Structure 1
Amino acid sequence: MKRSFILTGLLATLIAGIGLTACGKHEQDEVPPTASSMPPVGETTPATEPPAPRVSSNEPGNASVGDKIGNAALTAKVKTALAAHAGLKTLPLNVDSLDGTVTISGEVGTQALSDEVTKLVQGVEGVKSVQNNTVVKAH
């Protein structure tokens, strides 16, 4: 009786092993390309999907990577120019750029400083226009 249990166990293990081995095999549905199935040199095969439409960078939130890099580079140039100016480098100003338009915000002590900020930013290469949103507050 003990021997029949052992044989039954071995038989079940063997059947399970064969079944699992068969599950691991894949049918060879794909045939590797041969010289006769490939297009001749110089010819191309048509694309399966058309290219995605280009999204306009003028729409909010749709700036391309290049646009974002350009905006960041312009912002950096403006911040560098402000930091290099003796009378403006200590001002807590925020600078943002979008397609050549630079927006400056923060507090300045006088209207003359606000005007000086505008003039300096307008002189930075790549700046098309300046939106000066600074607030004059006497200290």
Structure 2
Amino acid sequence: QLLLPLWFVLGLGYSLAQTPSGRLIKRSADPVDRPALFAAQFALSHACWLITYPIAGLVGAAIGLPFTFILLGVIGAGALLAAIWLWPRHDPDVLTHAHEDLPHGHSHLEDAVSTEAGFEHSHGYVVNDRHPKWPKAS
């Protein structure tokens, strides 16, 4: 009887961790690049499990499960704090940016305005061939 609520809580926690990563990848890449990014995320998540599973087993066997639960909770809280610290507070979907490398009349610049920095326009921004790096904050 206690197993079903435990499975529910574990599934809820797993979906809270996995769903944002999938949405982040989908938002951050063109469709052609997404398979490689999902594969990289899969590898990274398994590398984290490669570290935490042995910790859970070794510490659980040596010291006990209550302390192991606390230790893994601290590791998870540390990861959450790192994400909060590293992720920008203001992260809009649409970014205004300038292209200095594309010629006038290029199809990507249909709504662009010519400025000192180049041809400036706004759209949903992803890193790709036309946008090789994230623009600097204005």
TM over 0.5: no
TM-score by length of 2: 0.23
| TM-score, normalised by the number of residues in structure 1 | 0.23
Bigger Rg over Cα: 1
Structure with the bigger percentage of strand:
1
- Give 1 or 2: higher helix fraction: 2
